């Protein structure tokens, strides 16, 4: 084998090595993207499920079995949360029972997701929603989902990401 053939063989090996590295890098990127999508879809499912669970309940403790015709009959903002008899989620009967609720989920992909819920009265004016301590006929529920596997790589340095889901529930009273 002459010098020319040796040089061609070396260059062919270098080109093949570069091609293999490129394919491996692409495969890893696709795997990472698939994993991140799976974690985000799971977190989204947990968040929307929490909103759906809460929407099936009464607006306020005072509206479980009766009608509230005035905001003064609603629960005071400082008392939003579970009542003494509501020791588990199965016993929740109104939306604000979820205030300060936390839950950890470990799903099939072995990621641990932390769900945190906050409920507050809200003033709604057009597209503006502002939480308030004054009793109103609207409550905003905010569900936050976090996990060590939810990472925001769009910033440097990368940091943990939180998915937030918000929904406003309103109470309508008709005479």
Q: 110: left (phi > 0), else alpha (psi -120 to 50), else beta? A: left
Question: What backbone phi and psi angles, to 5 degrees, belong to 157?
Answer: -75, 155
pLDDT of residue 25: 67
pLDDT of residue 154: 76
pLDDT of residue 158: 82
Q: What is the pTM of this model?
A: 0.79
pLDDT block averages, 10 residues each, the chain of length 175: 79 83 69 80 92 93 88 92 89 94 82 94 91 94 92 82 93 73
For Cα atoms 71, 74, 76, give the angle at the middle one, nearest 5 degrees: 105
Report helix, strand or coil for 31: helix
pLDDT of residue 110: 73
CB 152 within 8 A of CB 159: yes
């Amino acid at each position: 084998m002459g010098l020319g053939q040796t040089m061609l063989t070396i260059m062919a090996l270098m080109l093949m090595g570069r091609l293999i590295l490129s394919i491996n890098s692409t495969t890893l990127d696709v795997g990472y993207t698939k994993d991140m999508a799976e974690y985000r879809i799971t977190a989204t499912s947990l968040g929307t499920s929490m909103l759906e669970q809460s929407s099936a309940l009464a607006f306020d403790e005072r509206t479980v079995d009766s009608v509230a015709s005035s905001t003064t009959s609603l629960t005071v903002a400082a008392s939003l949360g579970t009542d003494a008899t509501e020791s588990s989620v199965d016993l929740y009967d109104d939306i604000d029972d979820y205030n300060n609720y936390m839950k950890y989920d470990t799903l099939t992909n072995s990621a641990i997701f932390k769900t945190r819920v906050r409920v507050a009265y809200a003033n709604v004016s057009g597209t503006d929603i502002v939480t308030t301590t004054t009793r109103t006929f609207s409550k905003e529920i905010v569900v936050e989902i976090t996990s060590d596997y939810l990472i925001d790589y769009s910033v440097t340095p990368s940091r943990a990401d939180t998915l937030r889901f918000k929904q406003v529930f309103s109470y309508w009273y008709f005479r």
